[in-house]
Chain A
């Protein structure tokens, strides 16, 4: 039982990170109907920016951890958002009216570019970061097994919940959110009613990238090592989460992320760690085949 609860906590923390990435997929898919294949790599770039910002801030002599964390968070969100904006502007906007596969191909190209750019610029070796957020709480001991909730896990979950709240407010209460929902339903009609479609789509990418940067920072703090390849697998799992939750739905992405995180953690804990990715990928296939509209999504109706 103690082991189970420990895995539950670990799964929730991992799932929160997946959920944050999944929001980027779900928003972009909802609004322009394409899989932003490079989103996983934006997450990776975000975690590299966070790593370098940390090292820079520490070398400036700011050692008060909460201040450093906030500074890194802001810096990483801002700079990664610029990446998200640029990628949309260069690779996706020119092809928005093109045929179906075109933006997917440029997205794959962008993913290759980002991975190899980071590899060239920062080297292929794994990058470690000394533990920044340490300590934790021992919840209880059962049969000699300690169940602990570490501070970093608390930080991950709290940050995720707060950001979810903020983004939920943006989508439901602001004019930007209204424009986004309008574009999601019908881009042409939205444009005719005075919504700046290009700007709305750009801002969607910016928001997705900023959330991916937060996920990157949390991933970096949680695992302590990153490399240029983390974006690929994390991206696919986050996409699975987005589909599982129902693509286009924000709470769905979060829910899906947590389910995927739990499945992966329990699978590694009780079955085999080598096949944990197989579990996630099979989950993706099963969900798409049997449950394509997801948990909280609307079924897609094709009009002829």
Chain B
């Protein structure tokens, strides 16, 4: 299957068409980028002036030309095959590692901080523990949000682009109760969930009749309305300045700080600021696993089955006597509740919240995690969250890239750009998401995993 064997691939005819094709692609790239990238607007004394960047433009057009040429010559129209990747049998199918991947991931998540902390302390490795834990907390927050939204989008098939509104409701609930009345995190956590669920019902009620794209755009509008209200209702929310000094959670009433009555004193151990971070890590891990557990249980209840039935065909579902109003509202409320709980956690972890944190882009990221992970698949969502959030957060801190591309290169700027590219690329490559199969919620006889293409909108 080597290149030499496929003599046809390199006939002059083929070379010629490929070259024409690549030249057209290069022209298109030139049209796209000649003004947007080839010239940069620079502020100067007399208003804007232009700074031509012919070299950059030439490089980009050259990359498009070469890429298109090589791809269509060697890859797209290839008459040679890649050797089939010898996936170890264990990784595939029933009874393999894949089936226990979730459990393995969960155990790894539970052990990770202890092992990392112990390794670092006993061998003095100098790991950036604080950063690692912060990043893991962030990833877990998104895992939880993804699982929460998965109930609405993946199970019930209701496309919600305003999920961040519930996240904001939860965060502000705890921030306001915690700072004005001094209520503890653990009291406010269920309250935040309940309030968010209430908002889920309130926002869900008017949109019961809408479906698909229309529903998506209305929920987006709701999300934006909530954010604008948060910005402008300064009397309550302190407007764009946000709320600061949000209290931290305590371990059964024991705060994490140096001094009497604290966690370390009670257990008689030395004070370490990392304990607070590790504690937060476990809090969000438990909350996320709780979300997962509830979802898995709900899927087996009549309501969960009604959600999945509704996702596949709403009319058929109604004609079978399922009350779609109740079904939709419970989906909205349950999803919103987990969003609210995650929001309360976000508020206590950051210690400061402002409407800036609840923009549409957050909703888009959470939705991307759910869809790219494979809608309805719990494991897929977790993997997608690790890849999308963890991967791109790590990119923020790559100083060595700076040495390659020069001083002016700021990787943080390219983060969202790459995020968008990844969203489009993964969707085109695997429209059904990373994990394309999942165990069915209910089976007759022997269970076998269900492929994404067997169902219309989700899986299982």
Within 8 A of B (CB), among A177-220: none
B217 x A284 contact (CB < 8 A): yes
A248 within 8 A of partner (CB):
no
Q: Which residues of A contact B432 (CB under 8 A)?
A: 99
B171 within 8 A of partner (CB):
no
B-contact 0/1 string along A260-304, CB 8 Å cutoff: 000000000000001101100110110011001000000000101
Whether A281 contacts B50 in the complex (CB less than 8 A), given A120-B414, A288-B210, comes out as no
B127 within 8 A of partner (CB):
no
B457 x A105 contact (CB < 8 A): no
A-contact 0/1 string along B206-232, CB 8 Å cutoff: 110110111011101110110011011
Whether A285 contacts B423 in the complex (CB less than 8 A), given A55-B41, A121-B37, comes out as no
B228 x A277 contact (CB < 8 A): yes
Whether A49 contacts B47 in the complex (CB less than 8 A), given A100-B212, A106-B427, comes out as no
Our pick among A109, A117, A122 for the contact of B423 (Cβ within 8 Å) is A109
A51 x B41 contact (CB < 8 A): yes
Q: Which residues of B contact A176 (CB under 8 A)?
A: none
A102 x B224 contact (CB < 8 A): no
B424 x A110 contact (CB < 8 A): yes
A128 within 8 A of partner (CB):
yes
B420 x A53 contact (CB < 8 A): no
B48 x A105 contact (CB < 8 A): no
Q: Report the Cα distance A33→B214, complex, angstroms.
A: 11
A302 x B360 contact (CB < 8 A): no
Q: Report the Cα distance A98→B34, complex, angstroms.
A: 33
Q: Which residues of A contact B367 (CB under 8 A)?
A: 105, 108
A48 x B36 contact (CB < 8 A): yes
Our pick among B40, B222, B423 for the contact of A121 (Cβ within 8 Å) is B40
Q: Report the Cα distance A83→B222, complex, angstroms.
A: 30
A22 within 8 A of partner (CB):
no
**B250 CB → nearest A CB, Å:** 38
A52 x B457 contact (CB < 8 A): no
Within 8 A of B (CB), among A200-246: 232, 236, 239, 243
B417 within 8 A of partner (CB):
yes
B421 within 8 A of partner (CB):
yes
A112 x B427 contact (CB < 8 A): no
B32 x A86 contact (CB < 8 A): yes
A288 x B368 contact (CB < 8 A): no
Q: Report the Cα distance A100→B212, complex, angstroms.
A: 8
Q: Which residues of A contact B427 (CB under 8 A)?
A: 95, 102, 105-106, 109
B361 within 8 A of partner (CB):
yes
B138 within 8 A of partner (CB):
no
Q: Which residues of B contact A66 (CB under 8 A)?
A: none
Q: Report the Cα distance A118→B360, complex, angstroms.
A: 18
B-contact 0/1 string along A64-108, CB 8 Å cutoff: 000000000001001100110010001100110011111011101
Q: Which residues of A contact B210 (CB under 8 A)?
A: 288-289, 292
Q: Which residues of A contact B37 (CB under 8 A)?
A: 121
B48 x A128 contact (CB < 8 A): yes
A164 within 8 A of partner (CB):
no
Within 8 A of A (CB), among B382-420: 413-414, 416-417, 419-420
A236 x B224 contact (CB < 8 A): yes
Q: Report the Cα distance A292→B206, complex, angstroms.
A: 13
B28 within 8 A of partner (CB):
yes
B228 x A79 contact (CB < 8 A): no
A109 x B424 contact (CB < 8 A): yes
Q: Which residues of A contact B48 (CB under 8 A)?
A: 51, 55, 127-129
Q: Which residues of A contact B207 (CB under 8 A)?
A: 285, 288-289
Q: Which residues of A contact B206 (CB under 8 A)?
A: 285, 289
B36 x A118 contact (CB < 8 A): yes
B428 within 8 A of partner (CB):
yes
Chain B's closest residue to A124 (CB) is: B413
A95 x B428 contact (CB < 8 A): yes
**A225 CB → nearest B CB, Å:** 10
A121 x B214 contact (CB < 8 A): no
Known A-B contacts: A112-B364, A121-B37. Give 18 more (CB < 8 A).
Answer: A51-B48, A56-B35, A79-B34, A82-B28, A91-B424, A91-B428, A101-B153, A101-B371, A102-B431, A105-B372, A105-B423, A113-B424, A122-B40, A129-B48, A274-B232, A275-B232, A277-B228, A289-B210
21 contacts between A and B (CB under 8 A): A49-B35, A52-B39, A56-B50, A75-B35, A79-B34, A82-B31, A90-B424, A91-B428, A99-B456, A106-B427, A108-B364, A108-B423, A109-B423, A116-B417, A121-B40, A127-B41, A275-B232, A281-B228, A284-B221, A288-B210, A288-B214
